[in-house]
Structure 1
Amino acid sequence: MSQFTVTGRFKSRDEYAAFETTIEAENERVDREHVLSQLGSRHGLKRTQIELDEVTQQ
């Protein structure tokens, strides 16, 4: 398993809020899905309200 750092922003009321998170995943595709799932669940967002700017492997 590799660690990935994901940065981006999500719709928060009338503006966008930036985020950065580190996740351990098999590959970049799984990592993106996991981040979208977690943020959507935690903040009540749809995937279209989340923008992933950069995914880097550590």
Structure 2
Amino acid sequence: MSEFTVSGRFQTRGGYQQFERTVTAENEDVAIEHTYADFGSEHGLKRTQVDIEGVTQ
């Protein structure tokens, strides 16, 4: 398992807000899925409301 930094932006009432999050996952695709799931559970956002701009290891 590696640590990945996922960055992007998510939709808020006033526009978009930037984010950067560190996720432990097997590969980049799993890290992206974890990020979508976290934003869905924490903020009640759908996948279309989260724009992932980059993933680095």
Alignment of 1:16-35 (within 5 A): 16-35=16-35
Partner in structure 2 of residue 12 of structure 1: 12
> Which portions of structure 1, spanning 4 or more consecutive aligned residues, are displaced by more than 4 angstroms?
none
* C-alpha separation in 2, matches of 1:20 and 1:29: 16
Stretches of structure 1 lacking an aligned partner (at least 5 in a row): none
**How high is the TM-score relative to the length of structure 2?**
0.95
Aligned partners of 2:40 and 2:10: how far apart in 1? Answer: 9
What is the aligned-residue RMSD (CA, Å)?
A: 0.6
- TM-score w.r.t. the length of structure 1 is 0.94
Deviations 1:13-47, CA, capped at 9 Å, x for gaps: 13001100001100111100000000111111000
For 1:28 and 1:37, the matched residues in 2 are separated by 14
Code of the aligned partner of 1:31: A
Note the residue ranges of structure 2 that are not aligned, 5 or more in a row. Answer: none
